[in-house]
């Protein structure tokens, strides 16, 4: 009985910082880069694309989230998941792995809009990210196709579907990425999503932050323990 009472008292006086909080974030910017032409982008289109087309061209999606704006400084990140909605896949497609890598340089989202269906891209506008430029047309990637960490932050197998949700589950690397972005906001350049680029017809179309359907937009879900007396912003 005495032990039970002590445990209950301990729970009552436990600091508030021990209680986890959860926040769900929309991207602060996103876009698609196209391997066939360094002047193509799709900054504010409804969709982002990743994978390889039937014409042997690669697509890579960029997504960034303003973590420091929404979490109190000093928080400890414990779980991270990214959820995207798949709205189209090529004919004769197969389930394919799609990999998130942490981006190492600042990139932009201009006003380019490739419309429907969007996969061919359109002419880049100022500050768009393209295959050659991280900011069109004033700053280039050190490596065409994006500057990113070689190690994967997370991998998810995307099924063959024109209406499905895919989640990149929490990994130590995803947690470390978001923790870094919270602690050092100047390093927050988001992720690049890369599909199978060794075979044709692996590309997928995902809804972007500009999707006309709010419930289809990307969501970054972060579980964290705030400092004592603090909550999410």
Phi-psi region of 171 (alpha: psi -120 to 50; beta: other; left: phi over 0): beta
In the three-class reduction of DSSP (H, G, I as helix; E, B as strand; rest coil), residue 17 is classed as helix
- Upstream peptide bond of 137 is cis (omega within 30 degrees of 0): yes
Q: Say how many CA atoms lie within 13 Å of 131 toward its Cβ.
A: 17
Write down the residue that tokens 């359907």 correspond to: 213
Give pTM, 2 decimals.
0.90
Per-residue pLDDT of the chain (233 residues; tens, 9 = 90+): 443 333 333 433 344 445 789 999 999 999 999 999 999 999 999 999 999 999 999 999 999 999 999 999 999 999 999 999 999 998 888 999 999 999 999 999 999 999 999 999 999 999 999 999 999 999 999 999 999 999 999 999 999 999 999 999 999 999 999 999 999 999 999 999 999 999 999 999 999 999 999 999 999 999 999 998 766 56
CA 207 – CA 32 distance, rounded (Å): 11
Query: In whole angstroms, how far apart are CA 227 and each of 69, 200, 232?
Result: 16, 48, 10
């Amino acid at each position: 009985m005495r032990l039970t009472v002590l445990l209950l008292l301990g729970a009552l006086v436990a600091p508030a910082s021990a209680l986890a909080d959860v926040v769900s974030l929309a991207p602060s910017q996103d876009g698609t880069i196209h391997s066939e032409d360094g002047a193509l982008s799709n900054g504010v289109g409804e969709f982002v694309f990743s994978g390889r087309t039937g014409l042997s061209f690669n697509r890579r999606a960029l997504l960034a989230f303003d973590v420091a704006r929404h979490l109190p400084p000093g928080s400890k990140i414990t779980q991270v998941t990214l959820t995207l909605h798949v709205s189209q896949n090529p004919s004769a497609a197969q389930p394919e792995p799609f990999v998130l890598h942490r981006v190492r340089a600042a990139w932009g989202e201009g006003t380019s809009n490739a419309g429907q269906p969007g996969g061919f891209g359109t002419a880049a506008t100022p500050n768009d990210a393209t295959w050659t430029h991280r900011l069109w047309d004033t700053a280039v990637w050190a490596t065409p196709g994006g500057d990113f960490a070689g190690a994967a932050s997370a991998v998810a197998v995307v099924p063959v579907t024109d209406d499905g949700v895919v989640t990149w589950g929490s990994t130590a690397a995803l947690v470390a990425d978001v923790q870094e972005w919270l602690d050092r906001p100047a390093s927050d350049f988001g992720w690049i999503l890369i599909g199978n680029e060794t075979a044709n017809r692996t590309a997928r179309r995902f809804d972007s932050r500009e999707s006309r359907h709010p419930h289809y937009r990307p969501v970054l879900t972060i579980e964290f323990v705030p400092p004592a007396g603090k909550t999410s912003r």
